[in-house]
Amino acid sequence: MQEHIKSIEEKIEELNRKREKIQLGGGQERIDKQHAGGSLTARERIAVLLDQDSFLESGLFAEHRCTNFGMQGKPMPADGVVTGAGSVDGRLVHLACQDFTVGGGSAGEVHCRKIVQMMQASLKTGSPFIVVNDSGGARIQEGIESLSGYGQVFYNNVMLSGVVPQISLICGPCAGGAAYSPALTDFIIQTRSACMFITGPSVIKAVTGEEVTAEEIGGPSAQMNISGVVHFVAEDDRDAMAICRRLLSFLPSNNLEDPPKWDAEEVILPDKYLNSIIPVDSRQSYDVRDVVARLVDRADFMEVQEHFARNIVIGFARIQGRSVGIVANQPSVMAGVLDIDASDKAARFIRFCNAFNIPLVTLVDVPGFLPGVEQEYGGIIRHGAKMLFAYSAATVPKITVVMRKAYGGAYLAMCSKDLDADRVISWPTAEIAVMGAEGAVDVIFRNEIRKADDPKAKRQELIAEYKESFSTPYAAASAMKVDDVIEPAETRRYLAMSLDILHSKREFRPQKKHGLIPL
């Protein structure tokens, strides 16, 4: 009997059948279950994230090689992860999106190899790498090969670090060793229904006896508000993709490029509202985000880690179309003091901005570092030093605005002239001193106050004299620690002009493998 040779039409038809079957993932029943849980499938997430019709898939026909524990011949379409390249707002990105409908998105040898290939492609092309996590964890049936795969992902996370932006989206479970890959990336976006932890509730109960839920230890509230692991919380998958797209709009594709520049206003007019936006009385609080909104384009500020260490505010914005990183003390929370968490939060953000050529704008209203036994035992010296290190090591344009309080070591840590700030300006309301007038007078004039006929009146008199002499911007300006004292209304214009002037800044540092930040 003569062998039938398939025609090209038959071969193409076979190809299309295979593709359709694989693209269905774990099948319609599992897709329906994913939808019922309020989640999109892997391919739906990619379609929402990327520009229309821009996705070019890689590794569609990849299959596992495991033969243990009933895995031989068991189909795992695309091995549980969809990988490829596409564009966001016309700019190239590479991505990997775990498919929970296929084996619970479990990660094995081939699964991890697909992710690593996209990471390496990202590195070669200088494009951001995005990974969507939705996985039950390591594929236990593959044993050491699964662990090895994770190790290769971690290694490549480090290779990409500081070269291309890395963004992790947690849209489902992310447990055990799998959680360390997002931790190695630059930003983590977690949906409200997702959980991320190293050890789950059952393990914790078995080891420590503590009873907790997955939400309590791994939900977005825990990982944003308490641990500070997560940078953005999304309502659902679509919101997570929108946050990711917005974040990318502020970032360059790699460390050799500048961030995208948007159109700028033709003329910047003085903003008189800034003259009265903060209380003159340094004991009164205000929300520094109101100041930020008046300084940046279209009041568009993308705050990072909004609910963690709220005594400091960080995030991205634009000034005359140029991306900037904002670091600002928050007087409405703990009077804006620097503590352990605030120092870590700011230092990490400063280092990211420096790695990706994003100028830093620092808004200062800080009474000092938080005193207390708990802070000292927790290592406030080591953590506070991270800010000193991060700002000192940064070579991007650094512009500092001293709005009100700027006391002691915290004044230095908020990018003072002595940490090589390129421009330091002050508002007339600034109080730049070693410490607040009340504390300084109690130390310097202790004996004089005690001997006075009316100690209380004498103390107030000395406080007023101290403020007049030292708690002003003019003493610092006379010593050239402040470049100029300006009317608050002129701040946006000053920042825009300074960013233009400093855009071509080049700074060279001593040759070394890397500095040793106090971790």
d(CA 46, CA 112): 18
Q: Which of 126, 176, 408, 439 is catalytic?
A: 176
CA distance 296 to 250: 13
Q: By the 8 A CB rule, do 180 and 154 touch?
A: yes
Catalytic, 409? Answer yes
Q: Is 379 a catalytic residue?
A: no
Q: Which of 84, 368, 384, 409 is catalytic?
A: 409
CA 42 to CA 187: how far, in whole Å? 20
Q: 330-346 in b/e burial notation, b at 16+ Cβ within 10 A?
A: bbbbbbbbbbbbbbbbb
Residue 433 pairs with which residues in a beta bridge? Answer: 407
459 Cβ partners below 8 Å, 6+ apart? 441, 442, 445, 449
Out of 27, 177, 228, 321, the active site residue is 177
| Residue 408 annotated in active site | no
3-state secondary structure of 425: strand
364 CB contacts (<8 Å, ≥6 apart)?
328, 329, 400, 401, 402, 403, 404, 405, 406, 411, 414, 415
* 126 has catalytic annotation: no
Element (H, E) at 181: helix 180-184
Of the candidates 397, 92, 90, the one whose C-alpha atom is nearest the C-alpha of residue 253 is 92
**Identified catalytic residue from 107, 410, 433, 476:** 410
Which tokens is 129 given? Answer: 């790498």
Joined together, the tokens standing for residue 268 give 């910047």
Which residues are part of the catalytic machinery?
176-177, 409-410
